[in-house]
């Protein structure tokens, strides 16, 4: 950390820019994520068909690369005759919404807890560390499944449940980074001139831990997206007819032995999105704080 | 060491108590467990009868302490669906999950520790790149999808392995790979950074300078120190795995505790769900307790702090 604080005076905006553009992982990841975000935003313009429109006469048409496929349904149709490409495009919205929403909620909880614990120490730290330990002891998938089953599955419920469950890593990392910053001279100086605690937290601590916060937020976003897909796959997440990618895999599962593309296509989309977000998160960490790998 | 052990034990007990309260409280997320139990066709009188039979009309805290008292004695109540004791039900299913967990963590360690060491010996080499590639892939592959793809390619196209059930050891191969691969990236990364750190220390330089053979330096001096944090990570991952086995067991129809969890969740069988959450959590607490003790024993700095 001490070397970081002396270097910042010489780092210019241009050199930060080249550090990001020079990092292969970040560039590939950012490109894919940007593409998927654009697809999600422009879904109504891009989707060739209505993702909910059923057509029982055009069921299970294979994708265009299959000899039985046609350009009318580029990625084929599902068991209800709904256009697979359109469902895939609208599904991006669900995954991104889950990722952002869950990371926002858990980030808020985890950051408040972690920064408080790191800054105040003592009893506050004891309570927060205890809560983190309790949270880690509870199996995430099992608790999430149980809660969704009891409360009832919907997009909002899944976002809330995942948000309330995934704050642990935020709290752990924010706590340790705040602990490091708290012992810096500039924090002692701010305390000495009588700055309020709120001011110190907002202007001295937060700007210096925000890099780590961004890294954890991206990784937890990916985590939430994978968990949503798993919950929806098990039938206890986002409910039909919403085109969640996990749900699409689940619906195609019964026919996967004959029509493998039914599960391959949404699975690849899910894999690509999670991979890209992780590449971005890992890359940002490599660039801003290479000492924090792992 | 005794002081540390007692302190750690007190923490574990407190965590266990809190977890038990949460898993008990989950039942009350649904508006009324009696209605959930009685089913959709029940009359008001039926619901009232169930409410009194199971004691849902008492204050929540009274019910909690009653439940806790019996849980401590090993009685987790009766399953709504299977109509048998929850503890017997879980006890019957747990061996399958344990077998799967042990196989998977062994697979993960065998895959990731050698790769992590090899990657650390030659950073930025081909091996390092392969290791990085495998770990990036492992973090992004949704385990349920990976499992399905394995079924499609290994079982159906190549006819190598059985797709579902738990009769022979062959049935455990695919679940082990899926679950183990999920835990491997974290272990590999920690092994790699740990080894890199240790390899750059002065005592390794000394060991090399006095002419010790490279394997001795690598395994006796370096790996022994780098492996300490890996031990506790592996314990944590093992605990997570048992919780995560629910997805894998459901796909491969492996009749373990994870499959039981899915069955009971979809059937609103709340006592079984409660019992499973409690058992999985307790297992994790015990596991991390021992991992911390081993760490404190290996590294005196931890217990003095």
pLDDT tens sequence across A109-129: 999 999 999 999 889 999 999
- What's the count of helices (H) and strands (E) in chain A, helices before strands? 14, 0
Within a domain: residue B152?
A: yes
- Quick check: pTM over 0.90? no
pLDDT range class, residue A269, cuts 50, 70, 90: very high
Domain of residue B251, residue span:
94-303
Interface residues of A toward B, Cβ cutoff 8 Å, are 130, 133-134, 136-143, 145-147, 149-151, 222, 226, 229-230, 233-236, 246, 249, 253, 256-257, 260, 263-264, 267, 270-271, 274-275, 278-279, 282, 293-294
Percent of chain B clearing pLDDT 70 (strictly above): 93
User: For A248, which residue in chain B has the nearest alpha carbon?
Assistant: B145
d(Cα B149, Cα B137) in Å, to the nearest integer?
14
Chain A nearest C-alpha distance from B261 (Å)? 7
Between A155 and B61, whose confidence is greater?
Answer: A155
CB contacts, 8 Å: B244 with chain A:
139, 141
Per the structure, the count of domains in chain B is 1
Residue B171 lies in a domain: yes
Alpha-carbon distance B34 to B121, whole Å?
61
Would you call A263 and B243 a contact, using CB atoms and an 8 Å cutoff?
no
**pLDDT higher for A164 or A256?**
A164
Residues in chain B within 8 Å Cβ distance of A26: none
Judging contacts by C-beta atoms under 8 Å, the chain A residues touching residue B152 are 256-257, 260, 263
Is B140 domain-assigned?
Answer: yes
Vertex B256 angle, CA A222 and A151, to 5°: 55
Rounded to a whole number of angstroms, the distance from the CA of A162 to the nearest CA of chain B is 15
Q: Which of B11, B16, B97, B145 is the mutation pick for testing A, counting most A CBs within 10 A? A: B145
Q: Which two tokens stand for residue A222?
A: 């990916």
- What confidence tier does B106 reach under pLDDT thresholds 50, 70, 90? very high
Residue B79 lies in a domain: no
Distance CA B81, CA A167 (A): 34
The DSSP annotation for chain B comes to -HHHHHHHHHHHHHHHHHHHHHHHHGGGGSS-HHHHHH-TT--HHHHHHHHHHTTTTS-HHHHHHHHHHHHHTT---B-TTT-SBHHHHHHHHHHHHHHHHHHHHHHHHHHHHHHHHHHHHSTTSHHHHHHHHHHHHHHHS-HHHHHHHHIIIIIIIS--S--S-SSSGGGGHHHHHHHHHHHHHHHHHHHHHHHHHHHTSHHHHHHHHTT--HHIIIIIIIIHHHHHHHHHHHHHHHHHHHHHHHHHHHHHT--SHHHHHHHHHHTT-HHHHHHHHHHHHHHHHHHHHHHHHHHHHH-HHHHH-
- A263 → closest Cβ in B141, B145, B261: B145
The beta-carbon neighbor of A230 closest among B144, B265, B268 is B144
Residue B162: inside a domain: yes
Percent of chain A whose predicted confidence (pLDDT) is above 70: 92
Domain membership of residue B17 (yes or no) is no
Residue A102: is its pLDDT beyond 70?
yes
Neighbours of A185 (CB within 10 A): 10
Q: Is B107 within the bounds of a domain?
A: yes
- Read off the CATH number of the domain in which B157 is found: 1.10.3720.10
Is residue B14 a part of any domain in this protein? no
Q: Give the mean model confidence (pLDDT) for residues A60-81.
A: 81
> Chain B: nearest CA to A202, how far in angstroms?
31
**Burial grade of B28 (CB within 10 A; 0-12, 13-18, 19 or more):** middle
Size of interface A-B (CB pairs under 8 A): 131
B242 CB neighbours in chain A (<8 A) are 139
- Put simply, the answer to whether A279 touches B136 (Cβ < 8 Å) is yes
pLDDT tens-digit map of B179-221: 999 889 999 989 998 898 888 888 888 888 888 888 888 888 8
Residue B5 clears pLDDT 50, i.e. is over it: yes
- Cα–Cα distance, B107 to B177 (Å, whole number): 7
According to DSSP, the residues that pair with A83 across neighbouring strands are A77
């Amino acid at each position: 950390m001490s070397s970081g604080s002396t270097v910042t005076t010489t780092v210019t905006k241009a050199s930060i820019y080249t550090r990001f553009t020079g990092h292969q992982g970040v560039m590939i990841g950012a490109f894919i994520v940007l593409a998927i975000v654009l697809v999600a935003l422009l879904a109504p313009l891009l989707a060739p068909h209505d993702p909910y429109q059923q057509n029982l006469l055009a069921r299970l048409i294979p994708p265009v690369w299959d000899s039985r496929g046609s350009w009318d349904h580029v990625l084929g149709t599902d068991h209800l005759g709904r256009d697979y490409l359109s469902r895939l495009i609208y599904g991006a919205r669900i995954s991104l919404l889950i990722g952002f929403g869950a990371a926002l909620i858990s980030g808020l909880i985890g950051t408040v807890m972690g920064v408080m614990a790191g800054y105040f120490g003592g009893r506050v730290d004891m309570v927060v560390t205890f809560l983190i330990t309790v949270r880690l002891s509870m199996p995430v998938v099992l608790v999430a499944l149980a809660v969704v089953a009891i409360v009832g599955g919907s997009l909002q419920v899944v976002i809330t449940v995942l948000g309330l469950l995934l704050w642990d890593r935020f709290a752990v990392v924010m706590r340790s980074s705040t602990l490091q910053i708290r012992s810096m001279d500039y924090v002692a100086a701010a305390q000495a001139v009588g700055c309020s605690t709120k001011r110190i937290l907002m202007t001295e601590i937060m700007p210096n831990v925000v890099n780590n916060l961004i890294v954890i937020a991206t990784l937890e976003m990916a985590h939430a997206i994978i968990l949503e897909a798993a919950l929806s796959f098990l039938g206890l997440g986002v409910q039909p007819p919403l085109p969640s990618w996990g749900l699409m895999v689940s619906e195609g599962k019964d026919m996967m032995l004959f029509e493998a593309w039914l599960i391959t296509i949404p699975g690849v989309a899910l894999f690509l999105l999670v991979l890209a977000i992780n590449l971005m998160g890992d890359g940002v960490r490599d660039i801003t704080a290479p000492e924090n790998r792992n | 060491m005794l002081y540390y052990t007692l302190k750690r034990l007190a923490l574990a007990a407190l965590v266990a108590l809190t977890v038990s309260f949460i898993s008990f409280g989950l039942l009350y997320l649904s508006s009324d467990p009696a209605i959930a139990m009685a089913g959709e066709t029940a009359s008001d009188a039926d619901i009232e009868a169930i409410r009194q039979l199971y004691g849902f009309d008492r204050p929540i805290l009274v019910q909690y302490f009653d439940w806790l008292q019996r849980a401590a004695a090993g009685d987790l109540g009766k399953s709504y669906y299977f109509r048998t004791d929850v503890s017997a039900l879980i006890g019957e299913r747990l061996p399958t999950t344990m077998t799967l967990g042990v196989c998977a963590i062994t697979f993960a360690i065998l895959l990731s520790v050698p790769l992590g060491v090899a990657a650390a010996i030659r950073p930025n080499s081909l091996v390092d790149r392969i290791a990085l590639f495998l770990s990036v892939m492992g973090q992004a592959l949704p385990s349920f999808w990976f499992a399905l793809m394995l079924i499609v390619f290994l079982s159906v196209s190549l006819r190598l392995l059985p797709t579902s059930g738990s009769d022979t050891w062959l049935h455990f191969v695919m679940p082990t790979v899926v679950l183990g691969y999920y835990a491997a990236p974290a272990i590999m990364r920690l092994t790699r950074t740990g080894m890199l750190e240790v390899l750059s220390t002065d005592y390794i330089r000394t060991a090399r300078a006095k002419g010790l053979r490279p394997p001795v330096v690598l395994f006796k001096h370096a790996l022994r120190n780098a492996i300490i944090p890996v031990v506790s990570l592996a314990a944590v991952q093992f605990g997570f795995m048992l919780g995560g086995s629910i997805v894998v067991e459901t796909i491969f129809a492996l009749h373990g505790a994870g499959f039981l969890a899915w069955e009971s969740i979809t059937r609103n069988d709340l006592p079984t769900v409660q019992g499973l959450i409690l058992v999985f959590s307790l297992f994790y607490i015990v596991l991390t307790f021992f991992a911390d003790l081993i760490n404190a024993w290996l590294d005196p700095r931890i217990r003095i702090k």
